[in-house]
Amino acid sequence: MKKSAIHISLILSLLIASACEKDFEELNRNPFFPTQTDVGPLFNNVVSSLRLGWNEQFYLHNETLYGVTQQAALTAATFQNINIGTEEAWSNYYRALAHIREIELRFDEMEVEPEALNNVRAMVKILLAYKTFRITDLFGDMPFFDAGKGFEDLDFARPKFDGQEAIYKYLLDDLKWAADHLNTFPNPTTASGTPYVSFGNFDTFFNGDMLRWKKFANSLRLRHALRMVEKDPAFAAPILQDILENNLPVIRDGEDVVMSPAAQDWRNESVNWSFREHNKLRMGSTVWNQLSINNNIDGSGIYDPRAYIFFETNNAGEWAPFPQIPDSDTPPSGGIPYQQQRDSNYPIKGNGNIYSPFNYYLIRDEMDIPEIILTAAEVHFIKAEAYLRGLGVGMDSDEAEGEYTLGVVASIQFWQNVMVNCGIWENKSPVLAIGEIFAVTNNPRISIFTTDKKLEFIYAQRWLDAFRQPWEAYALARRTGMTPREGGPVAHFRFPYPPSEAENNADNWAEQVSKMVEDSERVKVWWML
């Protein structure tokens, strides 16, 4: 397990790097100088930081969030030291934040028309917003406004904690600025003819497609305005209204935002590691009841094709969910369904594997399975909720039903494409044509047209689409309390701060904890009611 980098060492390394570059200030001021490549790699480092951490997946996702959200069943809680995961997520964020602050500082020093920097500034703001939303939604209040600036002034070496409300509103304003100022025309220039500054090939996220960047910004605005709408409708509802009533560009079907190992030239070894070393996750009864109309072990009750993509049968070839709330008589889980020996002997999952595991190929592939950031289906479900509840727009049941149905279709298509495009995936399930997918949406267990629980259906399908984004399902479950669930309500509301923060930012950490009363999972984040 890797020990997280602490604030002080990060600051010292950045100070050293900054000192080494003092002789090159003139290059930093000229964005068109052919040898000036420092800002591009820094930006690419920020993009690379979007990849999920190994320990984050092991401890926060597999050990905690899949069980909290009930997207899967945690068959045994064996690894209690989640600090390893929180340290990694926390340090990954603050390393990237330091890069972002440095990029912004270099923008300020460039002798170029301010307008010419609009696109690159907007791209940085969008990545900052995405990354900060993720961390604050996991931890709540956090150092932000003064954080990542230790290379500028040692007064910022131990930044104070900022309230999540202030962070949320700042980021949403930043995203609006980004969406409003992105120039989506090819090779844009200012009124005086100055070419816009570009990251060029260092934009490995959207490859210079400014319209995709704009759509991503607006989609993030939708996601997080909806997340806080109950807490501050006066601030959030106008954002929803602005995007929906003005039909602003958002992520559409086929434009899902992902980190792609093959396209970005990296190998994703962390997913299979986190599953095979953990080996405690299986299909649970909660998610099984969203995919099948009965418990037939031959799978004859399965009506949702995503069942075959998310999970597989046990070692005996049976569909067998682990009870979401096991009792003392529940047989233990075992076997080796995630071990790489299955590469050459796929059917063998171990005699002890009596419950359905995650689909092996979904967590084994290192090149073709993407890490998901935001899907088009999620945008549809956000719209469906807004129209159904009249959030920022007038209530419109027809629009809500239409967006919900399109969301289910987009989700099934997305996950089918994940399967189809995976080079190592053998024994692929049949791919449904568009008409067959719409037929799935007419099943009484999923059709929004025949239920009086429309909002619950919307939440269930958004929860299901986020199958490999347990942090998003976690936010949805905490906000609504209406995602599919067995037993009592969610009682896990945040992660405790990593121990390194108490050690290296002791005074500010202590002041923050005193405000919260306790640094535990029982403390609700700001946007929760």
Is residue 151 very low, low, confident or very high in pLDDT (cuts 50, 70, 90)? confident
Distance, CA of 84 to CA of 110 (rounded, Å) = 40
Least confident of 3-17, 48-62, 192-206, 493-507: 3-17
**Residue type (1 letter), 107:** F
What single DSSP character describes residue 281?
E
Average pLDDT over residues 454-459: 98
Check residue 368 and give its pLDDT: 98
pLDDT higher than threshold 60 for residue 18: no
Q: Is residue 217 part of a domain?
A: yes
The mean predicted confidence, pLDDT, of the chain is: 93
The alpha carbon torsion through 323, 327, 332, 333 (nearest 10 deg) reads 20
Whether the predicted pLDDT of 17 surpasses 50: no
Name which of 71-85, 128-142, 287-301 the model is least confident about: 71-85
Using the predicted structure, report yes or no on whether residue 21 has a pLDDT greater than 90.
no
Predicted local confidence at residue 355, as pLDDT: 98
Residue 29 or residue 324, greater confidence: 324
Structural domain count, the chain: 1
What is the DSSP annotation of 36-96? --SHHHHHHHHHHTTSPPHHIIIIIIIIIIHHHHTSSEES------THHHHHHHHHHHHHH
In a domain, 521, yes or no: yes
Q: What is the pLDDT of residue 7?
A: 42
pLDDT class of 526 with cuts at 50, 70, 90: very high
Span of 144-158, 385-399, 467-481 with lowest mean pLDDT: 144-158
Residue that is written with structure tokens 């397990």 in the block: 1
Residues near 21 by beta carbon (within 8 Å), at least 6 away in sequence: 28, 38
> Which residues have CB under 8 Å from 391's CB, separation 6+?
226, 229, 233, 236, 237, 240, 385
What's the CATH code of the domain at 521? 1.25.40.390
pLDDT of residue 29: 39
Q: Which residues lie closer than 8 Å to 499 by C-beta, 6 or more apart?
A: 83, 87
**Residue 189 falls within a domain, yes or no?**
yes
Tell me what pLDDT residue 515 has: 97
Residue 3 binned pLDDT confidence (cut-offs 50, 70, 90): very low
Average pLDDT (426-441) is 97
For the segment 441-463, the average pLDDT, to the nearest whole number, is 97
Mean pLDDT over 1-24 rounds to: 38
Half-sphere exposure of 123 (CA within 13 A, CB side): 31
Q: How far is CA 196 from CA 28, 126, 208, in A?
A: 16, 18, 12
- Say if 55 falls within a structural domain: no
Give the model's pLDDT for residue 446: 96
* Cβ pair 375, 254 in contact under 8 A: no
Look at residue 338 in the predicted model and tell me its pLDDT.
98
pLDDT at 152: 72
Mean pLDDT of the region 428-446: 97
Average pLDDT score over residue span 264-291: 98
Residue 165 within a domain: yes
**pLDDT at residue 378, as a whole number:** 99
Task: Give the pTM.
Answer: 0.93
Report how far apart, in Å, the C-alpha atoms of 471 and of each of 31, 144, 227, 374, 468 are: 38, 20, 13, 12, 9
**Helices 118-139 & 470-480 angle (0-180, nearest 10):** 60
Q: Average of pLDDT values for 414-430?
A: 97
What number is the average pLDDT over the span 169-195? 97
Residue 329: inside a domain:
no
The DSSP-derived string for 357-423 is PBPHHHHH-SSSSPEEEE-HHHHHHHHHHHHHHTSSS---HHHHHHHHHHHHHHHHHHHHHHHHT-T
Chain position carrying tokens 């703001």:
125
Task: For residue 174, give its domain range.
Answer: 6-33+43-48+82-233+241-246+498-529
406: buried, middle or exposed (CB in 10 Å: 19+, 13-18, 0-12)? Answer: buried
- Check if the beta carbon of residue 75 is closer than 8 Å to that of residue 355: yes
pLDDT digits (tens, 9 = 90+) for 194-208: 999 999 999 999 999
- Whether the per-residue pLDDT at 295 is higher than 70: the answer is yes
Indicate whether 16 pLDDT > 80.
no
pLDDT digits (tens, 9 = 90+) for 219-261: 999 999 999 999 999 999 999 999 999 999 999 999 999 999 9
Mean pLDDT, residues 25-40? 46
Residue 417 maps to a domain: no
pLDDT the model gives residue 154: 73
Look at residue 27 in the predicted model and tell me its pLDDT: 34
Confirm whether 295 is domain-assigned: no
Q: pLDDT tens-digit profile of 389-413?
A: 999 999 999 999 999 999 999 999 9
Q: What percent of the chain has pLDDT over 90?
A: 90
Quote the tokens at residue 271.
């997913």
Q: State residue 427's pLDDT score.
A: 92
